[in-house]
């Protein structure tokens, strides 16, 4: 089985090639070749696919892609190549059960299959959402921890320290990361969720040095939190990311990898994006030695994954992985619209339904393209989790009909989505509840979802 020292040997001695040539002359042409060879075709009438043969073809094409092009090490400008036997062995030996959390909050994440009745693992929170103050951070973390379906939490990213905007790999990033760890654990303690894991290991910790700083036990991070590492599109890593993997591995902690293939980028359209996402799952297992994976393909124009073509991408790549492997894959949904708008809840629900019915677990949510400060609340991930649990076991054909109905409500607004309201405008910080305006909107949304065949409990409206 490929180990980290094997990865380093390949990174140091692999085929020398420029980053541009890898992307444009090696990766991109091979993706399109595989799309043609396997006759992979986007079906706009079925954003949630029920085609098992398509899923299986997608898996085989993805495996051939990683073997043909390898991963790319940006630190050495060399290709990290793998044989087919190495890829298949890596997939066989990947974990099929991983425990996260402590005490009563400790729980095992296990794989799912398409139309699985088992509820999805719910990684809930801000998905990298930016916050500008400690008060915002604390109220969000408290709200995320109190969601009944929360299995693990994704922490917001602090953008300022003492009024200064955080700079990557600077002392400001280290201070922000250490403070995120401390405040995150304090927030969970406040609401009696002491053991909840932080599976994204702090959105603020972009560099390896800042992650290392926050890993000191006094700041509250634990090996049972899991340590997530971001990969670059397409299938690229560097020494900084490999360093993070070595640090996490030395603690015996589960390693996760999040990755965001851009539709309209090097992979091309929805077909190539789905194929590239499948191959990147395998790249993560081999290079970073991952225990879990978090794909979130995004639309190059909308910076979300709620459009019809991206929902198809999520569905097909999810079924390719869930039907043919036991990998622990968590689909992260991004919305174009902001909080306190029907569109935001419709988008996140469509993405969750596509993922869960296709055999994936879920992370929620990146709101309003995830680029505005204080533009997420505990409402959006909670609604997503309720939807995810409600559709567990749903037939893909039924899920397809519901997703198409949701698309009719918001699809035309994707080019100019409503920004909605800020955290402070639609969330009561002291009472940890949505405002009256947002509560009214939630009530209407839940009724609409029930009418579509996704019953959501109205008694869950008044959040704790």
Q: Which tens digit of pLDDT belongs to each residue from 279-296?
A: 999 999 999 999 999 999
What is the CB neighbour count within 10 angstroms for residue 277? 30
Say what the pLDDT of residue 224 is.
94
Beta bridge partners of 99: 108
Q: What is the CA radius of gyration of the chain?
A: 21
Say what the pLDDT of residue 459 is.
67
Say what the pLDDT of residue 174 is.
87
What is the CB neighbour count within 10 angstroms for residue 150? 23
Q: Give the Cα separation of 29 and 17 in Å (integer).
A: 16
Set out the domains of the chain in order of their start, with CATH numbers: 118-230+240-258+326-460 (3.20.20.460)
What is the CB neighbour count within 10 angstroms for residue 258? 22
Say what the pLDDT of residue 220 is.
84
Helices 270-287 and 28-37, interaxial angle, to 10°? Answer: 110
Buried/exposed code over 406-445 (b: 16+ C-beta within 10 A; e: otherwise): bbeebbeebeebbbbbbbeebbeeeebbbbeebbebbeeb
Q: Give the Cα separation of 227 and 181 in Å (integer).
A: 13
Buried/exposed code over 205-238 (b: 16+ C-beta within 10 A; e: otherwise): bbbbbbbebbbeeebbbbbbbbbbbbbebbbbbb
Say what the pLDDT of residue 28 is.
98
What is the CB neighbour count within 10 angstroms for residue 3? 10
Say what the pLDDT of residue 464 is.
45
**Which phi and psi (to 5°) does residue 212 adopt?**
-60, -40
Give the 3-state secondary structure of 100-122.
ECCHHHCEEECCCCCCCCCCCCE
Q: Give the Cα separation of 89 and 257 in Å (integer).
A: 19
124 SS3 class:
strand
Ordered strands of the 122-125 beta sheet: 152-154, 122-125, 361-366, 330-334
Q: State yes or no: cis peptide before 365, omega within 30 of 0.
A: yes
Q: What's the pTM value of the predicted model, to 2 decimals?
A: 0.96
Taking 70 as the pLDDT cut, the residues of the chain under it are 128, 201-204, 459-464
Say what the pLDDT of residue 203 is.
60
Say what the pLDDT of residue 431 is.
86
Q: Which residues, including other chains, have CB under 8 Å from residue 383's CB and lie 6 or more apart? A: 345, 348, 349, 442, 445, 456
Q: What share of the chain is helix, strand, coil (3-state, %, to 5)?
A: 50, 15, 35
Q: Which residues, including other chains, have CB under 8 Å from residue 345's CB and lie 6 or more apart? A: 380, 383, 441, 442, 445
Q: State yes or no: cis peptide before 439, omega within 30 of 0.
A: no
CA distances from 422 to 271, 272, 359, 374, 376 (A): 36, 36, 33, 6, 7
């Amino acid at each position: 089985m490929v180990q980290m020292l094997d990865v380093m040997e390949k990174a140091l001695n692999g085929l020398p090639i420029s980053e541009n040539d890898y992307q444009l002359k090696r990766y991109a042409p091979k993706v399109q070749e595989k799309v043609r060879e396997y006759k992979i075709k986007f079906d706009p009438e079925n954003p949630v696919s029920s085609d098992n043969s398509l899923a299986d073809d997608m898996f085989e094409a993805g495996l051939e892609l990683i073997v043909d092009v390898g991963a790319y090490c940006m630190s050495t400008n060399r290709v990290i190549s793998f044989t087919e036997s190495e890829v298949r062995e890596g997939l066989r030996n990947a974990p099929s059960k991983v425990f996260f959390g402590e005490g009563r909050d400790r729980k095992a994440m296990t794989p799912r299959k398409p139309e699985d009745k088992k509820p999805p693992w719910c990684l809930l929170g801000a998905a990298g959402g930016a916050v500008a103050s400690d008060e915002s951070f604390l109220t969000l973390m408290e709200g995320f921890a109190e969601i009944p379906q929360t299995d693990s939490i994704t922490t917001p990213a602090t953008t300022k320290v003492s009024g200064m905007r955080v700079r990557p790999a600077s002392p400001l990033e280290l201070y922000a990361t250490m403070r995120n760890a401390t405040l995150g654990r304090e927030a969970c303690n406040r609401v009696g969720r002491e053991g909840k894991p932080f599976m994204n290991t702090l959105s603020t910790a972009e560099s390896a040095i800042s992650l290392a700083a926050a890993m000191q036990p006094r700041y509250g991070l634990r090996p049972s939190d899991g340590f997530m590492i971001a990969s670059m599109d397409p299938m690229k890593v560097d020494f900084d990311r490999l360093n993070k993997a070595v640090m996490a591995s030395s603690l015996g902690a589960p390693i996760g990898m999040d990755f965001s293939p851009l539709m309209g980028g090097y992979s091309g359209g929805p077909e190539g994006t789905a194929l590239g996402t499948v191959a990147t799952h395998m790249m993560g297992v081999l290079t970073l030695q991952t225990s879990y994976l978090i794909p979130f393909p995004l639309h190059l124009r909308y910076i979300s994954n709620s459009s019809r073509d991206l929902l198809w991408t999520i569905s097909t790549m999810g079924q390719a992985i869930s039907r043919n492997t036991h990998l622990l894959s968590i689909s992260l949904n991004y919305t174009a619209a902001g909080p306190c708008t029907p569109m935001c809840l419709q988008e996140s629900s469509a993405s969750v339904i596509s993922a869960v019915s296709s055999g994936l677990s879920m992370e929620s949510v990146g709101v309003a393209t995830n680029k505005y400060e204080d533009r997420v609340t505990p409402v959006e991930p909670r609604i997503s989790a309720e939807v995810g649990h409600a559709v567990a076991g749903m037939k893909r054909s039924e899920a397809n009909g519901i997703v198409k109905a949701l698309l009719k409500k918001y699809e035309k607004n994707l080019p100019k989505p409503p920004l909605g309201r800020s955290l402070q405008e639609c969330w009561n910080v002291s009472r940890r509840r949505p405002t009256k305006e947002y509560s009214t909107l939630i009530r209407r949304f839940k009724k609409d979802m029930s009418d579509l065949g996704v019953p959501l409990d109205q008694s869950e409206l008044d959040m704790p």
